[in-house]
Amino acid sequence: MKIAVLPGDGIGPEIVAEAVKVLNALGPKFDLETAPVGGAAYDVAGHPLPPATLELAKKADAILFGAVGDWKYDTLARELRPEQAILGLRKHLELFANFRPAICYDELTAASSLKAEIVGGLDILIIRELNGDIYFGQPRGIRTSELPLFKGAREGYDMMHYSEPEVERIGRVAFEAARKRSKKVCSVDKANVLETSQLWREVMIRVAKEYPDVELSHMYVDNAAMQLVKAPKAFDIVVTGNLFGDILSDEAAMLTGSIGMLPSASLDKNNKGLYEPSHGSAPDIAGKGIANPLATILSAAMMLRYSLAMPLEADRIEAAVQKVLSQGLRTADIFTEGTTKVSTVEMGDAVVAAL
Amino acid sequence: MKIAVLPGDGIGPEIVAEAVKVLNALGPKFDLETAPVGGAAYDVAGHPLPPATLELAKKADAILFGAVGDWKYDTLARELRPEQAILGLRKHLELFANFRPAICYDELTAASSLKAEIVGGLDILIIRELNGDIYFGQPRGIRTSELPLFKGAREGYDMMHYSEPEVERIGRVAFEAARKRSKKVCSVDKANVLETSQLWREVMIRVAKEYPDVELSHMYVDNAAMQLVKAPKAFDIVVTGNLFGDILSDEAAMLTGSIGMLPSASLDKNNKGLYEPSHGSAPDIAGKGIANPLATILSAAMMLRYSLAMPLEADRIEAAVQKVLSQGLRTADIFTEGTTKVSTVEMGDAVVAAL
Ligand SMILES: CC(C)[C@H](C(=O)O)[C@@H](O)C(=O)O
Ligand SMILES: CC(C)[C@H](C(=O)O)[C@@H](O)C(=O)O
C-alpha cells in the first residue's frame, strides 16, 4: 500500500511527521514516500507541483497532505503560488468529492465562540464538489469590456458552470454517505439567481428519486450561512458546489472552535484520495513545535477508512485521539484552564501511546 | 419629499405600516405613495415589478421596502417570482451600494447563538456591491456542453465579472464610509482562484492610495466566513462583491441573534436609495401581528439620514428604538424571560410614544 506523503509548508512538516509516526506505530507496514509540494517545492524545483510530485501522487494509493502557503510566496505570479499545488492535485487526480466533517468534541465545546448548547455534540458533514464550478471554468481572464456602460475599461471574468454528470456524481456520493448517517441531505445552491444552481437543483431532485430512503432538502447559500450560525445541529449532510463549499465548510469548521482537530478527504471515483487537515499552514507558528497534529492524525485515520480499506485501524486512531483528549492533553490552540498543555511532538507521542 | 412605499409579501405590509406610522409621527409631512411589489404585485398585475411600481420607484426620492416572497409563488417561472422585483429595482435604479450593518444591541446580546464576549457590542458594516458580479453577468443559461469530458450533457453556466469602474465606485463608497467610522476597510475576495477577484483587489489597492488615512486589508472569502464566527469584532467595514456580500452579510447579521433589528440601505450614486429590513418576508408568521417592525423602522431612519438629508429625525427614531428596548419591550423573536412581549402594532406605537 503506497502512500504519498506531501508535508508542504509552514507547520505542514511538523504535523505530518506526527501522523506518519502514528501510521508507523499501527503495525502494518506502509510504503511511505515523501515529496515536496507548495512553496517548499517551488524552492527546490521552481514549481509548487513539480512533475515528480504529481507522478508520485498518481501512482500512490493515497496521499497524506500537510498544508501549503507562506507569505514569502505572495509576490509570485499566481500560477507559481503554493495553493496551485492543491488545485492541481484535485484536478489532475480527479478528486471531485471533498468530505469535511465539522465535529465539536465534548471536551472542546468551550473553545467554540458559540454557546455550548448550540454547538455541543455537533457532527455535520459538508460534501463539497471539487472539480467543477467557477474554480476551473472557462473562459476566464482579464480583458477590455464590451459592455456599453463600461466600454474600454478592464474587466475580470470567470465562468461558473456545472454539467449534469458532475452534479449527478457528487449527488450520489452525498446520498450514499447519507445512508450511513441520518439519511438527510441538504443541497445548497443559489437557484433564485444562478442558472448553474438551477441545473444543480434539478439534477439533485432527479438523482434523489433513486434514494427514496434519503430525505433531500434545498437551501439558498445565504440562508445556509445564517442557519449554520443559528442552529448548526439542524444539518446532517450538506452537499454543495466548489465555491459555496469553500465558504460554508470553513464557516462550519470554525463553529466548532477547534479547527485544529478537523480532518478532510478529497476522493476520486475509485476512493483514491488526498487527506489533509482542514486548517492551513499557519506560517506564524511554524517551527515552534506548538501546532496541533490531531487534524492530520485524524486525516490519516480517514485515509485508512476510505482509501486503504482498513476501518479497524482507523477506529484505533480515532479512539486514541479521543483518549488523549479525555486525558486532558491539549496543544496551545485548544488549551483551556485545567488541561495540560503539550507540544506537537508530545501530542503525537501521546496518541501513539494510546493506540 | 416623495417616498415610494412598497410593502410586498408576508409580514411586509405589517412591518411597513409601523414604519409609516413612525414617519408620520415625526412632524414633517412626507408624500408617501404605496404600490404593490413581489408576489402581491404578481397577484394583481401579473408581474412582481409592474411598470407602474417601477415608475413610482424611479420618480420617488427614496423607497421604503418591506419584504417579498411566499411559498405559494414557488412554482412560478423564475422571472415571475417575487425576488425578481428586488433584483429588478436594484438594476433599473442602479442601486449599486448596499449597506448592511450588523449591530448587536446590549439588551439583545443573549439572543445571539454566540457567546456574549464574542458578540457583545458588535458594530460592523458590510458594504456589498449590488449591480455587478455573477448576479447580472452575461452569458448565462443552460446549454449542451462542449467540454470533451461531458460532451452532449446539459450544463448550467453563469459569468462572473467586474469591470474597473464598478470596483472603483464601490471602493470609494467604502473608503468614504470608513472615514466616518474607524478608518479600516477589509476587502473580501477570492483572488487566489478568481480573475475577477484579482482585478477587484488590484483596483481596491489603487483606489486606497487616494485615502491614505484609511487602512485597507484583504481577506479571502472562506477565511472571512471563518473570522466572522471566530472574532467578528475584529472587523469594522467589510467591502465585497455581490455574491460574497450576499453570503457574508447574512452570516454577519445572524451573528447578532436579532436579525429582526437590522436595517439595510441600497444606494445609487446620488444617494437615492431603497431601504428594507435585512430579514425576509417570513410567510409563516404573516398576518399574526407578531413580526418585529424595528428593522423596518430603523430602515426608515437610514432613509432619512442617507437619502432625505434629515439626520436629526433619523437620530430621533434611533433613540426611540433604543428607548423601547431599554423599557424591556420585545416582539416574540427577541423575547427573553423578564422582558415584556408586545405585538407588531404595540411595538410601533411604543416607538411613536418614545419619539
Ligand atoms: C487554497 C485554496 C485555493 C483552497 C480552495 O479555495 O479550495 C482552500 O481554501 C481550500 O478550501 O482547500
Ligand atoms: C432574494 C435574493 C435574490 C437576494 C439576493 O441574493 O441578493 C437576497 O438574498 C438579498 O440578499 O437581498
Distance CA A237, CA A248 (A): 12
Closest Cα to atom 1, ligand 2: which residue?
A: B83
State the CB neighbour count (10 A cutoff) for residue A138. Answer: 9
Residue B268 contacts A, CB cutoff 8 Å: no
Distance CA A89, CA A181 (A): 29
CA of A226 to the centre of ligand 1 (A): 21
Lowest mean pLDDT among A343-352, B140-149, B309-318: B140-149
Residue B153 has pLDDT above 90, yes or no: yes
Q: For chain B, first and last CA: distance in Å?
A: 21
Provide the 8-state DSSP code for B235.
-
Distance CA B130, CA B126 (A): 12
Is B250 labeled as catalytic in the residue annotation? yes
Residue list, ligand 2 pocket, CB within 6 Å: A 192-193, 222; B 83, 86-87, 246
User: What pLDDT, on a 0 to 100 scale, did the predictor assign at position A310?
Assistant: 96
pLDDT-based confidence at B134, cuts 50/70/90?
very high
Average per-residue pLDDT for chain B:
97
Cell of B113: 447563538
Task: Point out which residues pair with B240 in neighbouring strands.
Answer: B128, B188
Selecting among B43, B158, B236, B250, the annotated active-site residue is B250
**B113 and A81: CB-CB below 8 Å?**
no
Provide the 8-state DSSP code for B29.
P
Selecting among A123, A236, A246, A268, the annotated active-site residue is A246
- Residue range B97-105: average pLDDT? 97
Predicted confidence (pLDDT) per residue in A173-228, tens digit: 999 999 999 999 999 999 999 999 999 999 999 999 999 999 999 999 999 999 99
pLDDT-based confidence at B238, cuts 50/70/90?
very high
CA of B128 to the centre of ligand 2 (A): 11
pLDDT-based confidence at A120, cuts 50/70/90?
very high
User: What pLDDT, on a 0 to 100 scale, did the predictor assign at position B236?
Assistant: 98
**Nearest-10 crossing angle of helices B294-306, B344-354:** 40
Average per-residue pLDDT for chain A:
97
pLDDT-based confidence at A69, cuts 50/70/90?
very high
- CATH class label, B1-95+259-355: alpha beta
Residue B265 has pLDDT above 90, yes or no: yes
**Which of B15, B20, B11, B14 lies closest to B303, judged by CA?**
B20
Distance CA B107, CA B115 (A): 14
pLDDT-based confidence at B216, cuts 50/70/90?
very high
pLDDT-based confidence at A280, cuts 50/70/90?
very high
pLDDT-based confidence at B29, cuts 50/70/90?
confident
Is B135 labeled as catalytic in the residue annotation? yes
Distance CA B84, CA B37 (A): 10
**CA geometry: angle B126, B128, B132, nearest 5 deg:** 170
Is B213 labeled as catalytic in the residue annotation? no
Distance CA B144, CA A44 (A): 44
Q: Which helix (H) or strand (E) holds A187?
A: strand A184-189
Q: How much of chain A is helix, strand and coil, in % rounded to 5?
A: 45, 20, 30
From residue A12, how far is each of A7, B9, B168 by CA, in Å? 5, 52, 38
Residue A29 has pLDDT above 90, yes or no: no
From residue A74, how far is each of A83, A89, B225 by CA, in Å? 11, 20, 22
> Is residue B139 reached through a cis peptide bond, with omega within 30 degrees of 0 on the bond before it?
yes
Cell of B179: 472615514
**Which of B191, B189, B258, B253 lies closest to B224, judged by CA?**
B189
What percent of chain B lies above the pLDDT cut of 70?
100
Q: Is A126 in the pocket of ligand 1 (CB under 6 A)?
A: no
User: What pLDDT, on a 0 to 100 scale, did the predictor assign at position A126?
Assistant: 98
Provide the CA A321 distance to its chain's centre, in angstroms.
Answer: 19
Predicted confidence (pLDDT) per residue in B84-96, tens digit: 999 999 999 999 9
pLDDT-based confidence at A149, cuts 50/70/90?
confident
Q: Which CATH number does the domain A1-97+262-355 belong to among 3.40.718.10, 2.60.40.10, 2.60.260.40, 3.30.465.10?
A: 3.40.718.10
CA torsion angle for B37, B39, B40, B42 (degrees, to 10)?
90
| Residue A321 and residue A330 in contact, taking contact as beta carbons nearer than 8 Å | no
User: What pLDDT, on a 0 to 100 scale, did the predictor assign at position A27?
Assistant: 87
Distance CA A178, CA B346 (A): 46
Distance CA A92, CA B300 (A): 54
User: What pLDDT, on a 0 to 100 scale, did the predictor assign at position A128?
Assistant: 98
Residue A140 has pLDDT above 90, yes or no: yes
From residue B308, how far is each of B100, B141, B354 by CA, in Å? 18, 40, 22
Distance CA A309, CA A311 (A): 6
| Residue A251 and residue B226 in contact, taking contact as beta carbons nearer than 8 Å | yes
- Residue range A152-178: average pLDDT? 97
**B113 and A113: CB-CB below 8 Å?**
no
- Residue type for B150, please? F
User: What pLDDT, on a 0 to 100 scale, did the predictor assign at position A147?
Assistant: 87
Residues on chain B touching A223 (C-beta within 8 angstroms): 250
Is B246 labeled as catalytic in the residue annotation? yes
Predicted confidence (pLDDT) per residue in A39-48, tens digit: 999 999 999 9
CA torsion angle for B251, B256, B259, B260 (degrees, to 10)?
180
- Residue type for A86, please? I
User: What pLDDT, on a 0 to 100 scale, did the predictor assign at position A28?
Assistant: 81
Residues on chain B touching A255 (C-beta within 8 angstroms): 229
Cell of B132: 455587478
Largest Cα span, chain B? 68
Q: HSE, CB side, 13 Å, CA atoms: give it for residue B188.
A: 29
Cell of B102: 450588523
The ligand 1 atom nearest the CA atom of A90: 7
Selecting among B73, B135, B211, B275, the annotated active-site residue is B135
> Is residue A139 reached through a cis peptide bond, with omega within 30 degrees of 0 on the bond before it?
yes
Provide the CA B134 distance to its chain's centre, in angstroms.
Answer: 18
pLDDT-based confidence at A230, cuts 50/70/90?
very high
Residues on chain B touching A68 (C-beta within 8 angstroms): none
Burial class (CB in 10 A: 0-12, 13-18, 19+), B48: buried
- Residue range A110-133: average pLDDT? 97
Cell of B28: 414633517
Q: Which of residues 76-115 of B touch A (CB under 8 A)?
A: 78, 81, 83, 87, 113-115
Is A236 labeled as catalytic in the residue annotation? no
User: What pLDDT, on a 0 to 100 scale, did the predictor assign at position A180?
Assistant: 95
Name the H helices within chain B: 12-25, 39-45, 51-59, 83-92, 116-119, 164-179, 195-208, 221-230, 242-255, 294-306, 311-326, 344-354
| Residue B347 and residue B295 in contact, taking contact as beta carbons nearer than 8 Å | no
Distance CA B342, CA B346 (A): 6
Q: HSE, CB side, 13 Å, CA atoms: give it for residue A316.
A: 15
CA of B196 to the centre of ligand 2 (A): 21
